Structure 1
Amino acid sequence: MAGLRDTLNRFRPAAAPGAPGRRGVPADRAAERESELTSLFAALAETEQKAEEIRQRATVEADRVRKDARLQAEAVVAEARLRAEALRSAAAAHTRASAERERVRARQATLNMTEQQGHRTAERLPGLVARAVSLAVDELSTTRAGSP
């Protein structure tokens, strides 16, 4: 009687057709792969489910992060607008103050020029009046001398 080992060797997968080899049952490679992969895919089903849950949580988290970033960006823009308005107001105040200083300086320069002109006029006026009187007297003298 054949032993257990001999009986099992008969069901051992046989090699591909070709040169004669040991005796056995032709191998069903597709069935072997399917049986091996079925258990592997069954084990991976749980992993796939976990991966899908992770993707869903990541999508929710990404949406939350985008929303938070949008709110933060809006806050930054609002603050920047307030700062820009404050800077514009400060620049306008600085410009107005600078213009006022220039106006005061120009007014003072005008007053100084007017005062200087007044002094020159006061200095020159007596001489000009004397000359005008002298010319008028000469003209009157000439006119009287030439009239009958």
Structure 2
Amino acid sequence: MTGFRDFLTRFRPVATPGRASPPAGIPADRTAALRAELGPPLALLEDAETAARDLRRQAAVAAAARRSEAENKAAEILAQARLQAHRTRERAAEETARASEREAAEMLADADRKATAVREAARTRTSDLADRAVALVLADIAADRLPSPTPEAES
């Protein structure tokens, strides 16, 4: 829509008064001329804008699909990692238990060897100690049979 100023410019004199000239004609409608000149390129731009909008929409859909696929893959990788970590922990616990059992068996075998050595030492020493104990007891018994010294004899 043209403004009031554009409306008034239509009635402005086209030429200075003077000799007669060919008929002046209708004033030019610049808005229509601009519309006629810029209409086809702007229509092409509208088509390009529509194509760009469609392309952005398709890209957003593709990005959402890729994001969803990546999230699913990440969840799968995480689940596998957790399972593998659980298996690794179980394996480590089993290895530790086996090592502890081996160490306990070695300690038990060592204790058995030491106990056997102590029993053998006791067995070999027992007869000597028993003989010495019997000798001491017999000596004590013999000392009790002897007449005890009288207090008068001691003074």
After TM superposition, is the score higher than 0.5? yes
Show the 5 A alignment for 1:51-66: 51-66=52-67
Amino acid at match of 2:131: A
Bigger relative contact order (CA 8 A; separation at least 6): 2
Amino acid at match of 1:64: A
TM-score (norm 2): 0.70
Aligned-residue identity in percent: 31
Amino acid at match of 1:70: E
Structure 2 counterpart of 1:140: 141
Give 3-state SS (helix, strand or coil) of 1:122's partner: helix
Report the CA distance shift for 1:140/1:38 in structure 2 as closer, same or farther (over 3 A): same
- Cα-to-partner distance string for 1:26-45 (whole Å, 9 max, x where unaligned): xx999877765443222111
Amino acid at match of 1:78: A
**Are 2:108 and 1:113 equivalent residues in the alignment?**
no
Report the CA distance shift for 1:128/1:36 in structure 2 as closer, same or farther (over 3 A): farther
Structure 2 counterpart of 1:43: 44
Tell me the distance in 1 between the aligned counterparts of 2:130 and 2:114.
23
Tell me the distance in 1 between the aligned counterparts of 2:32 and 2:147.
155
Tell me the distance in 2 between the aligned counterparts of 1:42 and 1:146.
149
Runs of 4+ in structure 1 deviating by more than 6 angstroms, as ranges, are 28-34
Amino acid at match of 2:41: L
**Which has the higher Rg, Structure 1 or Structure 2?**
2
Amino acid at match of 1:67: S
Structure 1 counterpart of 2:25: none
Tell me the distance in 1 between the aligned counterparts of 2:55 and 2:75.
30
Per-residue deviation, 1:63: 0.5
Tell me the distance in 2 between the aligned counterparts of 1:46 and 1:102.
82
TM-score (norm 1): 0.73
**Are 2:110 and 1:103 equivalent residues in the alignment?**
no
Paired positions, count:
121
Q: Structure 2 stretches of 5 or more lacking a match? A: 1-28, 150-155
Q: Structure 1 stretches of 5 or more lacking a match? A: 1-27
Tell me the distance in 2 between the aligned counterparts of 1:141 and 1:76.
93
Structure 2 counterpart of 1:123: 124
Q: CA RMSD in A?
A: 2.3
Report the CA distance shift for 1:128/1:43 in structure 2 as closer, same or farther (over 3 A): same
Give 3-state SS (helix, strand or coil) of 1:125's partner: helix
Amino acid at match of 1:100: E
Amino acid at match of 2:63: A
